[in-house]
Amino acid sequence: MTELPFGFTGGSVPEGADLGAMLRQLGDLMSGQSGPVNWNLARQAALQAIGADAGTTAADTEEVTAAVRLADVWLDPQTTLLSGVTTTEAWSRRRWLEATQPAWSQLVEPVAVQVVSALGNAMPEEMRTAAAPLMGVMSQVGALMFGGQLGQALGGLAGEVVSSTDIGLPLGPAGVAALLPEGVRAYGEGLEVPLDQVRLFLALREAAHHRLFAHVPWLRGHLLDTVVSYAQGLTIDPSRLEEMSRGVDPSDPESLQRAVTEGMFAPEPSPEQLVTLGRLETLLALVEGWVDTVTLAAGTPALPSVAPLNETMRRRRATGGPAEATFSSLVGLELRPRRLRDAAALWALVGSRRGIDGRDALWAHPDLMPTADDLDDPFAFVDRDKDPPLDLSSLDG
């Protein structure tokens, strides 16, 4: 079998097949695709990266539903935010891919626009002149290339995540709490903790995330808008693109694939984008730190393994997995809450000084939220405003 050009993983062509057959297959992949990402190829590449998928059973759904239901009961005394769960599902890895694709479209297409346009703009002038009649086709090829690389990254992520909110962003449909049984089992391997306790711990985190995303009206949009703002300001180094494009042989598609894997399209953040990235990392840390705090409080009375499980999750979220690294290299964005421990310590301090009501009241408006400087000195943050307004009316529910 012969792989498609550029190392695409969306299919293959039998040995000895003529060029027409291969071009027809590429045409099928391009059919109906007009944006900066070829989602036909992205999905095929992701599915190939996922490989065998065990799917889910009725028993999986029952176990997830029971765990999330109990998690919500345990969370009730630990936060003023009511349950944000309207539906509970057990997802396969393929279902995760399908359910999160709309969110990924919003997050990665701003980067893809720049990558695809840079593909043509960074060509040497003489090459652009010669290829002028084909620039429209080049845009489609660029979308195809980006789609193939993105699909492999998303397929890798699907093999690592355990829930719909696992990377700290609201990727799935609003109100749908979902655990991936395969991911839950993989997460529990080697921890010497019963699987039902692992599942309940992850259900606590999932239900806690949904409380924030459902009842803090500004949070979902603020997180996603910050990611998009960061992505839109990224630049592709034209000199690097031009230098690497000189080594691309148009008659050798594999030479283009090699250039891609060597970082031909690696986006470079500007100083302004680094500031935006800092704000995003702080907000992700605050979300994860709050979830960490309420999960630990909710699980401590009845879940013997909650402390070691929480520590394992802290390390996992702070370092990220191999697929997160792949995704980062592709879109120039790391979704790791580097200061998770600092944020958790701040939320715990605020809770001890102001109580649960005072702690959760800070989510009423983004201007009330702690900053990166506050993570450096949480005592100063708490003492600066000893009696903050406890108007919770702006929090839905």
* pLDDT value for 4: 43
Is 244 contained in some domain?
yes
* pLDDT value for 148: 83
314: confidence class by pLDDT, cuts 50, 70, 90? confident
What average pLDDT does range 321-346 have in this prediction? Answer: 75
Average pLDDT, the chain: 81
Side chain identity at residue 394, one-letter code: S
Is 360 contained in some domain?
no
Is 372 contained in some domain?
no
What average pLDDT does range 333-343 have in this prediction? Answer: 81
Tens of pLDDT, residues 244-276: 556 555 555 555 555 555 555 556 677 887 888
Is 390 contained in some domain?
no
Question: Which residue in 43, 52, 49 sits closest to 322, CA to CA?
Answer: 49
- Total domains in the fold of the chain: 1
Distance CA 84, CA 165 (A): 13
Is 352 contained in some domain?
no
> Which of 77-86, 283-292, 334-343 has the weakest average pLDDT?
334-343
Range of the domain at 287: 2-346
Max mean pLDDT among 5-9, 12-16, 69-73 falls in 69-73
Is 217 contained in some domain?
yes
What is the enclosing helix (H) or strand (E) of 89? strand 87-90
Is 25 contained in some domain?
yes
What average pLDDT does range 24-35 have in this prediction? Answer: 58
Token code pair at residue 178: 């979902």
pLDDT at residue 34 is higher than 50: yes
Is 109 contained in some domain?
yes
pLDDT at residue 373 is higher than 90: yes
Tens of pLDDT, residues 94-126: 999 999 999 998 888 887 877 666 665 655 566
What average pLDDT does range 168-186 have in this prediction? Answer: 94
Question: Which residue in 59, 33, 42, 168 sits closest to 108, CA to CA?
Answer: 42
Evaluate whether 64 touches 179 at the Cβ level (below 8 Å).
yes
pLDDT at residue 17 is higher than 80: no
What is the enclosing helix (H) or strand (E) of 3? strand 2-3
What pTM, to 2 d.p., does this model score? 0.82
Q: Alpha helix locations (H) across the chain? A: 19-30, 39-50, 58-75, 93-121, 125-130, 135-158, 181-188, 195-215, 219-232, 238-245, 253-261, 271-299, 306-319, 322-331, 340-361, 372-376, 378-384
